[in-house]
Amino acid sequence: MRKVILFDIDGTLVDCGGAGRRAMEAAFGRLHGRDDALRHLVFGGMTDPAIVREGLRVIGAPAEKHQVDAVLTLYLDILVEELPKTDRFRVIEHAVEFAVRARTLGHHVGIGTGNLERGAAIKLGHAGIAAHFTFGGYSSDAEDRSELLARGAERGRALAGGDAEVVVIGDTPRDVAAAHAIRASCIAVATGRFSVADLEAAGAKTAVPNLADARAAQVLD
């Protein structure tokens, strides 16, 4: 049976070497004179609009949609400049190979990410892997992670032609929670800041060190 596979980006497909955080902090610095707004915030699993909204709250600035959008627009422009500067950018081992195998088996492979759609395109384009992912759900669709995953699942099911099973692949407890919220299966990978034990504690039934693990491959069968 064909499935819809939704990949998270940061920590699951790529490691941007801190470029995303630097770009976001620089946007706050240029617009609000406060590059410390996000200093104590853990980004993992958060959506871009939620990150900006929290940063604005921390510095006591208004957080209406147009103020959030202003930071996000500048952030994306800076991200384009920042990514080529880092020598720590990398594609996460085994992730692309897993995506290719999934497509070979007839599954529909897309993105389910807290990045805005343009941000996702920038990061995947920089990694040279954008062609492997033909649809997705993004924080451009919804600020809430479960809602954007539902949008990605809807797009994938439209391609699959029916009520296909959805599999979410991510590296944070927020990925696990959002997968559960839309009643999707989840492969939680310890390729980011969270361990297998952390991901299991968050409720992941399939938590693996990386996508070379045989337990991850079984989900595709």
**Residues ≥6 apart with Cβ < 8 Å to 16:** 10, 83, 86, 89, 123
Q: Please calculate the CA angle 37-67-12 and round it to the nearest 5 degrees.
A: 60
- Per-residue model confidence (pLDDT) at position 183: 97
80-110 pLDDT, tens digit each? 999 999 999 999 999 999 999 999 999 999 9
Using CA atoms, how far apart are residues 25 and 34, in angstroms rounded to an integer? Answer: 8
pLDDT value for 41: 95
pLDDT tens per residue across span 121-133 = 999 999 999 999 9
Segments of the chain scoring below 50 in pLDDT: none
pLDDT confidence of residue 161: 85
Could you give the CA distance from residue 20 to residue 34 in angstroms, rounded to a whole number?
17
